[in-house]
Structure 1
Amino acid sequence: MTQPALAPRNAFTGVVVVWAVAFLAAAAIGIFVAEDWRIPWMLVGFGGAVLLSFAVQLWYGRTDGFIFRVAGSIIGALLLMGVISIGFGIAALIPA
């Protein structure tokens, strides 16, 4: 028999943490990395977000909704990093 958690952690907090880290990683990559290397580093940043998503949700320690939380974290990070990379791509087309 399992005992219920007395004060369970908020599951949505872990999802938001992954989104925030993905946003910061995409912004840092866009600012500090040369244009030729942005896409490979965005892939590395997204891979880090995927690993962080699993780590955060495993740390959370609850099995119910695990796939939903991980999928929400990963899809949100993918969309966020995609929108930011589109913004940097459009900015690269504008002559300086």
Structure 2
Amino acid sequence: MSDAVLAPRNAFHGVIAVWAVSLIGAIALGIALPEQDRVTWLVIAFGGVILLSFAVQLGYGRAQGFIVRVAASCVGSLIVMGLVSAAFGLAALAAAL
């Protein structure tokens, strides 16, 4: 008798979770930090997001598509954090005028 093959979990949920963490982290850093310290801490936070993306994808335990999922997590987080950073930069520029 053979066991029923279970459908693997959708690993794309981990990618979206990492994007959400990067969005929340970038907004929190943008609000909490002064303008001159934001870029430094956003780079540090991005490093943490990269480590988080590896941890989340390793937690799924699937080797197939690992590089694609980690790359999607990292590139998506970079875009999200860049857009949030640009929004805070435009807000600071508008406040200066």
Q: 1:5 deviation in Å?
A: 6.1
Question: Aligned partner of 1:38: which letter?
Answer: R
List aligned pairs for 1:53-72, cutoff 5 A: 53-72=53-72
CA deviation map 1:34-61 (0-9, x unaligned): 1110000100110111000000000010
Structure with larger Rg: 2
Report runs of 4+ in structure 1 exceeding 3 Å deviation: none
SS of 2:95's equivalent? Answer: coil
Shift in alpha-carbon separation, 1:56–1:87, aligned structure 2, 3 A: same
Q: Equivalents in 2 of 1:5, 1:22: separation in Å?
A: 35
Shift in alpha-carbon separation, 1:4–1:37, aligned structure 2, 3 A: farther
Shift in alpha-carbon separation, 1:8–1:89, aligned structure 2, 3 A: same
2:21 is aligned with 1:21: yes
Q: Equivalents in 1 of 2:73, 2:87: separation in Å?
A: 21
SS of 1:8's equivalent? Answer: coil
Shift in alpha-carbon separation, 1:64–1:36, aligned structure 2, 3 A: same
SS of 1:45's equivalent? Answer: helix
Taking every aligned residue pair, what percent have the same amino acid on both sides? 55
Q: Equivalents in 2 of 1:4, 1:14: separation in Å?
A: 25
Q: State the Cα RMSD in Å.
A: 1.7
Q: 1:22 deviation in Å?
A: 0.2
Q: Equivalents in 2 of 1:13, 1:43: separation in Å?
A: 24
Shift in alpha-carbon separation, 1:67–1:17, aligned structure 2, 3 A: same
List aligned pairs for 1:1-96, cutoff 5 A: 6-95=6-95
SS of 1:94's equivalent? Answer: helix
Q: 1:7 deviation in Å?
A: 3.8
